Amino acid sequence: MTVRSGVLSGVRVAHDRATVEQIAAASDDGESAAVADLLAREGVTEAFALQTCNRSEAFVVTDDAERGRAVLVDHVGDIDDSAVVHAGHEEGMRHLLRVATGLESLVLGEDQVLGQLRTAYETARGAGGIGPVLEEAVTKAIHVGERARNETGINDGIVSLGSAAARLANEEGALERGPALVVGAGEMGTLAARSLADRGAKRVLVANRTVPHAEHVAKEVDADAEALGLDDVEPAVERAALVITATGAEGRLLDAADFADAGETTVVDMAQPRDVDPEAGERPAVTLYDLDDLEAVTDRTRRQRADEIDRVEGIVDEELEHLLEQFKRKRADEVIAAMYESAEHVKSRELSRATARLEAEADGELTDEQREILESLADSLVGQLLAAPTESLRDAAAEDDWETIHTALQLFDPEFGDDGPPAAPDGMPEELPEEMPDDADLPPGAPVDD
């Protein structure tokens, strides 16, 4: 028997601490490559990676937490420590559940992360990274994410400026008229591009001063998407039915003249200061929305979602307790099974030896009844001797005493082969003498034959 369970360790580079550049650096090779790289490291038995435009996370299963953390420290490389968060077994599992519910998202309760988690799970499974620990943890997270959305209002309404912009555009019919242009590849621009795709935009153009950042967002969009530089914005405006701006530029990017040759256009300016000259909204074919318009859309539903946080946290706590209890019980049962397998190996060998010696002395085979008596005695001894260690191992698992668990695995190794159990400690005979001397010391209260 091989005990496969291990301890989960996690690391993340996410929007709450890291810059877009740091997240991109941590996601450089993609989820499949990250899982393959982690599995190739010594001591890693399972691996999982989740990478989106707002986060890059990795989880490994190893025999001990120290090994897992060392692997993940090396995995994130030279990314600044202030942008990196490490998590142990319980904390890592809690975080996975919170990610699935949207509590860790840039937009509280957003739905897209649940689909991204499912995709990452399939990717890791295809790469051979999913074993018993991650199977339970990730599938539990997906289940918790579904519960949060079905049983609470954590995802009701519109809370992000990007999703509000997409809804306004949809109400205006802009998504049906032609391509959508998003200027800016930061957090708001990314959310806007994703929301447009979710609402059915057929083509999305993403423009940014740094083109690789625009390309990164374009890859995240579930639609026909193209990355552009800022030099290409003006000609793109002429063919776009919708323009959403979300840059950090100090000056205006677009003025009224830039819309002179454009047809019917909906413009949503999410920037502060503004990217678009307000005079552009005075043109007959242009409908212009600014931050004030968007905030009115988002304020009410943001408050509604915030009221649901406690309910979602309650679901997370409840499901995490079940997950941890399941893990601890399985971990203890595996070690106990290994212990009994080891004992069974020794029992069978010694029972065979004892039977052979008795038959040799009796100059004949034992009867079936005599064999049953011997086997019953051996089973009873094993059961009584292992009862206390069994209880202790279950207590150790419940108390997260993994040192005791690992020690038990070393003491009761069922794969010691045919060489017999470990040697007896110094001073103890390898086998008892065939006959006890008449004057042997007996424990107090032991029966004595007359």
What is the set of active-site residues?
A: 53
Decide: 113 and 154 in contact? Cβ < 8 Å.
Answer: no
User: Contacts for 207-215 with beta carbons within 8 Å, 24 or more apart?
Assistant: 207/181, 207/182, 207/183, 207/232, 207/233, 207/236, 208/183, 208/184, 208/247, 209/247, 210/185, 212/24, 213/20, 213/24, 213/185, 214/185
State the Cα–Cα distance between residues 376 and 370, nearest whole angstrom.
10
Dihedral, CA of residue 32, residue 33, residue 36 and residue 39, to nearest 10: -100
**Positive or negative torsion for Cα 407, 409, 414, 416:** negative
Give exposure, 355-393, as e/b (b: 16+ Cβ within 10 Å): beeeeeeeeeeeeeeeeeeeeeebeeeeeeebeebbeeb
Give exposure, 165-186, as e/b (b: 16+ Cβ within 10 Å): bbbbbbebebbebbbbbbbbbb
